[in-house]
Amino acid sequence: MSLFLFQVFGDRILGVMNFIIPLGVALSTFGCALSIQFSVTRLCYVAGREGHMVEVFSYIHIRRLTPAPAVVSQVRYTHTFNPQCGN
């Protein structure tokens, strides 16, 4: 079947609300990216605390008690080792 056929079907069924599906996909993708970022940061924090990775990953923000330095360090290392991220 043609992709155009599904687009026409969606436009007829959803009418003026046809933007809901792409918006839902975009929000779902953004939520998935955030959850991956949080879990990788937590893994880096634990690995830094146990001595398996760089010690800076084990630092905790004093007031918020979150691994914020691990997030900042992870972003810095990602941009250093993967220069395509900045584009």
> Between 40 and 85, where is the model more confident?
40
At 16-72, the pLDDT tens digits run 888 888 898 899 999 998 888 788 888 888 888 898 988 888 888 888 888 887 788
- Specify the pLDDT at position 28: 94
First vs last C-alpha separation in the chain = 36
- Specify the pLDDT at position 69: 79
- Specify the pLDDT at position 87: 53
| Amino acid (one-letter) located at 18 | N
Contact 41, 57 (CB under 8 A): no
How much is the pTM? 0.59
What is the phi/psi pair of residue 74, to 5°? -65, -40
Contact 85, 79 (CB under 8 A): yes
Give the 3-state secondary structure of residue 36: helix
Residue 2: which pLDDT band, with cuts at 50, 70 and 90?
low
Residue 3: which pLDDT band, with cuts at 50, 70 and 90?
low
